[in-house]
Amino acid sequence: MARMHSRKKGKASSTRPFTGKNPDWVALSADDIIAKIVELNNLGKSSAMIGTILRDQHGVPSVKLALERTIGDVLQSKGLEPKLPEDLSNLMRKALNLQEHLKDNKKDVHNKRARELTEAKIRRLVKYYHKSGTLPEGWKYSIKTAKLLVD
């Protein structure tokens, strides 16, 4: 199947080796991992960044294997989940950066298209989050709401 916004085909990602259990060499216990997740979240790190820090600095190859739940589930159980899903806020931040660039460079048609494609992705994600109940039904994306919601 082809990519949505290009003519390319194929799968361009590496795959993690299949393993069904947490390795024996992981030094941190489940409680230590949860405490570290909460600590890093309080420092303002995103869930993707928390996973990277746990992998690179603390030797936890997979939080999902260690805890049998994701970082997002841990944050939700502690009441620390973000207002917006991380992927949606990242796309909104990207659209804002492109909008700021286009204010200064009005004839940059390539980045104008990139902003349009990014906003199309945002609208598709919003539709998904409406169906799944993550976002309230009346929530709509606009560049003004993005400015208010994204830091």
Identify whether 7 is part of a domain: no
Domain shared by 111 and 65, yes or no: no
109-133 per-position pLDDT tens digit: 999 999 999 999 999 999 999 999 9
Domain shared by 62 and 109, yes or no: no
CA 85 from chain centre, in angstroms, equals: 7
| Pair 96, 69: CB distance under 8 Å | no
Integer CA distances (angstroms), 39 to 34, 75, 78, in order? 9, 11, 12
Domain shared by 71 and 49, yes or no: yes
When divided into structural domains, the chain yields a total of 2
Identify whether 62 is part of a domain: yes
Q: What is the reported pTM?
A: 0.79
CATH number at residue 106: 1.10.287.10
> Could you say which residues of the chain have pLDDT below 70?
1, 151
